Amino acid sequence: MPDLLDKRLVFVTGKGGVGKTTVAVALGLRAAAAGKRTIVCEVSSQENASRIFEHTEVGFHEVEMEENLWSISIDPDESMREYVLLQLKVRAMRDLLFRSRIFTYLAAATPGLKELVTIGKIWELAQLDRKVKSGRKYDLVIVDAPATGHGIGFLQTPRTFAAIARVGPIHSQAQQLDRLITDQEHTGTAIVALPEEMPVNESAALEAELRSEVGIAVDRVYLNGLYPERFSHQEAERLAEVAAGENGLVRAAARAAVSEHGRARSQRAQLARLRRRVEAPVRTLPFLFEPELGLEAARQLAKRLH
Amino acid sequence: MSAVDEILEGKDICICAGSGGVGKTTTAAAIATGMAARGLKVCVLTIDPAKRLADSLGLKELGNEAKQVDPALLERHGVEMKGELWAMMLDAKATFDELVARQAPDEESRDRVLDNRIYQQISSALAGSQEYMAMEKLFELHTEGRFDLLVLDTPPTRNALDFLDAPRRLTQFIEGRSLRVFMRPSGIAARVAGRSATVALGVLKRIVGFDLLADLAEFFNAFSGMVDGFQARAKRVNTLLADPHTCFLVVCGPQGEPIDEAVYFHRKLVEAKLPFGGVIVNKVHYPAERLRGDGGDLRAALVERLGDDELAGRVAENFADYQALAERDARNIEHLAAELRTSGVIRVPYLDEDVHDLGGLAEINRYLFASSDEREALAAGRT
């Protein structure tokens, strides 16, 4: 059992298009298979995870996907509502607030508030003593973190907010969330990368930024989509000669083999660069020759996680 | 259909839009390089803090000022420059500061805004400001008229549309009208707004802490003299985006999800009456189409040619894997073309080499700037 999955909360982060959702779901499958009650959280309305689980909609509920595995799509407006419900015990006051234009305005306009209540909901899910009535207890919460221009923007929100709101409940709660994010014993962070020049550079920059700006030490970097090494160098040279002297399908097949060899090699060079440039241990995940990366792909990756 | 240079004929702004990880930055850099090579003075703007554009243009760094890419360097990579290629990496905070300085009625108001902590957070770190400032810089450069063509690489937001909405959202926030009314409980506005608003404000104070509200009030007061200026400018930016001389190119990858996002994005562009120019699909696995139906047993032919059963097996397996991806890509692109009611999908093949330098950009441009027939012939030559 990898130590990453022994934590209570794991953020899966990285740039867009690197396969974060698939890796997050694979980690969830792996943990669930090991008997951990696990929930995979999405933090936008795009519901990539539900796409993988082939459910039409997950929404702001904890939906059981498999044995021991749940999924939720965290909507910031719903999180805000739930947060206010938990803060205010008097029903009349809550109704007043929700009907109030000023509340709607502030909730929509205050920069970072959406991200903050989203992280607040993640915190709530990770509690052994859930605040939400009849809340299920989870052993592990996995977050498919949003990809933004600022790789660290989302995780930095509590710290930013604690600085803006100097006093009051929001200040102390933002501090509490920041402590949760940086608590290395219980919270882990994984970066997903691709074996290409720029994604490797970006992953190294992301790791450094998480360390210096948020105080997070990344636990693991997953290099996703690594081609198999199907052909040796000699074989590739020979196939290149064959491609040059042939026509038709034999030529096309030989040509495809030479391309695959070239890509596999350049990917190995990127893997070596990544290992040199990041401090966290690097694990590789194979490229899957699947038309669509659905649940089956996530299952295959889950077996290969180490 | 058409090549990128035909699509961009007579345009002075090209906005590359799409979700993250589809090669948007590279595509924007390639388009700018190609158009500059054809004789235009082009500036490409990027917002990505990861310095991707600088990487792909071989520049050590980019700043908030446009820098010219050395023509000698371009020529060394086989790009003959008839025009000029410039690049700029947007510094959102610096752009915002400049904008405030321009809009502020006097130095004191300017400093009050620049010193405000809420402003400092908004202008540097928080969602929406990068997108807003990208539009702002685009508008500024366009007004200056120094360039024939501006190519914008939009920020990699999860939702490709966020950047379109950002100026409006941020302007509304700065405007802060509905909040400002309630900020002075003793004022006439509060009496008009009634008791329930006062109570709501009281409840809010308990949740967010008074300090945050006080900071916000200060922020809105500091901005109060500039609201009209910001609004007017946002309106002019929107007019520029909808101008027929502006062109939106949707960039995506061939997998199901990016294709769906491209379809969605195209629909939103049409709804917003923004000028859609075309769609570029990167990293396409081309099938060995004209060879299909050749018949014959490939595996047997390979065994015969290679004299190695085991190696022939691996070559055949690899080819089958590749063809499966090619078929998927073809299906997805067909779906895309049908949804967009266009035959003008520009396909850039999945190249053997990872594109991250000027040589790579030149290679991409062989496809972007080719007619569809030339493109197909080039791609067929690869298989």
Tell me which chain B residues have a C-beta less than 8 angstroms from the C-beta of A151.
50
What is residue B126's predicted lDDT score, i.e. its pLDDT?
Answer: 54
For the stretch B152-167, pLDDT in tens is 988 765 555 666 666 6
What is residue A130's predicted lDDT score, i.e. its pLDDT?
Answer: 80
- List all residues 6 or more positions away from A21 whose beta carbon is below 8 Å from its beta carbon: A42, A48, A49, A51, A52, A144
**Per-residue pLDDT averaged across A194-203, rounded?**
88
Q: Which residue has the higher pLDDT, A225 or B123?
A: A225
**Per-residue pLDDT averaged across B261-276, rounded?**
89
- pLDDT > 70 fraction of chain A, expressed in percent and rounded: 88
Alpha-carbon distance A183 to A116, whole Å?
A: 17
Q: Which residue has the higher pLDDT, A17 or A244?
A: A244
What is residue B190's predicted lDDT score, i.e. its pLDDT?
Answer: 46
The partner residue sitting opposite A170, judged by closest CB among B127, B182, B212, is: B212
Give the pair of three-digit tokens for residue B82.
Answer: 């008839």
pLDDT band at B296 (very low <50, low <70, confident <90, very high): low
Interface test with A, best of B153, B177, B212, B357 (most A CBs within 10 A): B212
Cα–Cα distances (Å) from A278 to A57, A218, B49, in that order, read 37, 9, 19
Give a yes or no: residue A238 inside a domain.
no
Give a yes or no: residue A157 inside a domain.
yes
Interface test with A, best of B56, B122, B154, B208 (most A CBs within 10 A): B208
- List all residues 6 or more positions away from B191 whose beta carbon is below 8 Å from its beta carbon: none
Q: Which residue has the higher pLDDT, B168 or A113?
A: A113
User: CA-CA-CA-CA torsion for B69, B73, B78, B82, nearest 10 degrees?
Assistant: 40
Q: At which residue do the structure tokens 């991409």 appear?
A: B364
Q: Which residue has the higher pLDDT, A82 or B54?
A: A82
Check residue B225 and report its DSSP letter.
Answer: G
Q: Is the pLDDT of residue A246 over 90?
A: no
- pLDDT > 90 fraction of chain B, expressed in percent and rounded: 33
Contact at CB, A235 and B311, closer than 8 angstroms? yes
DSSP per residue over B167-181, as a string?
Answer: HHHHHHHHH-HHHHH
A55: distance to nearest CA of chain B, Å?
Answer: 15
Nearest to A259 by CA among A231, A286, A280: A231
pLDDT band at B53 (very low <50, low <70, confident <90, very high): low
The partner residue sitting opposite A250, judged by closest CB among B47, B301, B311, is: B301
For the stretch B93-123, pLDDT in tens is 888 888 889 888 889 888 988 888 778 777 7
CA angle B72, B75, B77 (to 5 degrees): 120
For the stretch B308-333, pLDDT in tens is 999 999 999 999 999 889 999 999 99
Give a yes or no: residue A98 inside a domain.
yes
**Per-residue pLDDT averaged across B331-359, rounded?**
86
Contact at CB, A148 and B158, closer than 8 angstroms? yes
Give a yes or no: residue A254 inside a domain.
no
Q: Helix, strand, or coil here: B68? A: strand
**Domain count across chain A:** 1
Alpha-carbon distance A196 to B350, whole Å?
A: 13
- pLDDT > 90 fraction of chain A, expressed in percent and rounded: 49
**Domains identified in chain B and CATH numbers:** 4-103+128-166+244-289+343-382 (3.40.50.300)
Q: Is the pLDDT of residue B305 over 80?
A: yes
Alpha-carbon distance A241 to A255, whole Å?
A: 10
DSSP per residue over B233-298, as a string?
Answer: HHHHHHHHHHSTTEEEEEEE-SSHHHHHHHHHHHHHHHHTT--EEEEEEEEE----GGGTT--S-H
Interface test with B, best of A93, A198, A246, A295 (most B CBs within 10 A): A198
Q: Does A88 touch chain B (CB under 8 A)?
A: yes
A173: distance to nearest CA of chain B, Å?
Answer: 10
**H/E run at residue B75:** helix B71-76
Which residues 103-132 on chain A approach chain B with CB closer than 8 angstroms?
Answer: 103, 105-106, 109-112, 114-115
**H/E run at residue A71:** strand A69-73
Give a yes or no: residue A236 inside a domain.
no
What is residue B188's predicted lDDT score, i.e. its pLDDT?
Answer: 45
What is residue A129's predicted lDDT score, i.e. its pLDDT?
Answer: 80
Give a yes or no: residue A215 inside a domain.
yes
Give a yes or no: residue A242 inside a domain.
no
CB under 8 A, 24+ apart: contacts of B179-182: B179/A102, B179/A105, B179/A106, B179/A109, B179/B216, B179/B220, B180/B217, B180/B220, B180/B221, B180/B224, B182/A102
| Averaged pLDDT score across all residues of chain B | 81
Q: Which of A53-57, A278-282, A300-304, B108-112 has the highest mean pLDDT?
A: A278-282
What is residue B192's predicted lDDT score, i.e. its pLDDT?
Answer: 46
- Sign of the four-CA dihedral B101, B245, B252, B286: negative
Alpha-carbon distance A17 to B138, whole Å?
A: 26
0.90 exceeded by pTM? no
| Averaged pLDDT score across all residues of chain A | 85
Strands A220-226 and A187-193: parallel
For the stretch A164-193, pLDDT in tens is 777 777 788 889 999 999 999 999 999 999
Which residues 138-177 on chain B approach chain A with CB closer than 8 angstroms?
Answer: 155-159, 169, 172-173, 176
Yes or no: say if A166 and A112 are a contact pair by the CB < 8 Å rule: no
Q: Does B214 touch chain A (CB under 8 A)?
A: no
For the ranges A123-127, A135-139, A164-168, A275-279, which has the lowest average pLDDT?
Answer: A164-168
The partner residue sitting opposite B201, judged by closest CB among A102, A114, A156, is: A102
**Per-residue pLDDT averaged across A220-236, rounded?**
95
Q: Does B282 touch chain A (CB under 8 A)?
A: no
What is residue A47's predicted lDDT score, i.e. its pLDDT?
Answer: 44
Cβ atoms within 10 Å of B290's Cβ, excluding its own = 12
Give the pair of three-digit tokens for residue A203.
Answer: 């992953």
For the stretch B127-140, pLDDT in tens is 567 777 888 889 99
Yes or no: say if B312 and B303 are a contact pair by the CB < 8 Å rule: yes
- Residue A219 belongs to what domain range? 3-228+280-304
Q: Which of A88-97, B179-188, B275-284 has the highest mean pLDDT?
A: B275-284
A-B CB pairs within 8 A amount to 225
Q: To the nearest 5 percent, what fractions of chain B are helix, strand and coil? A: 60, 10, 30
**Per-residue pLDDT averaged across A273-291, rounded?**
93
Q: Does A296 touch chain B (CB under 8 A)?
A: no
Give a yes or no: residue A71 inside a domain.
yes
For the stretch B168-205, pLDDT in tens is 666 766 666 655 555 554 444 444 455 666 676 677 67
| End-to-end alpha carbon distance in chain B | 22
**H/E run at residue B230:** helix B227-242
For the stretch A41-84, pLDDT in tens is 988 654 455 555 555 555 677 888 889 999 998 988 888 888 88
Give the pair of three-digit tokens for residue B278.
Answer: 């075309």
**H/E run at residue A292:** none
Alpha-carbon distance A279 to A28, whole Å?
A: 24
Q: At which residue do the structure tokens 């490797």 appear?
A: A200
Q: Does A89 touch chain B (CB under 8 A)?
A: no
Q: Is the pLDDT of residue B69 over 70?
A: yes
Q: Is the pLDDT of residue B39 over 70?
A: yes
Q: At which residue do the structure tokens 């739930």 appear?
A: A82
DSSP per residue over B308-344, as a string?
Answer: -HHHHHHHHHHHHHHHHHHHHHHHHHHHHHHHHT-S-
Q: Does B1 touch chain A (CB under 8 A)?
A: no
Q: What CATH number corresponds to the domain at position A127?
A: 3.40.50.300
What is residue B134's predicted lDDT score, i.e. its pLDDT?
Answer: 82
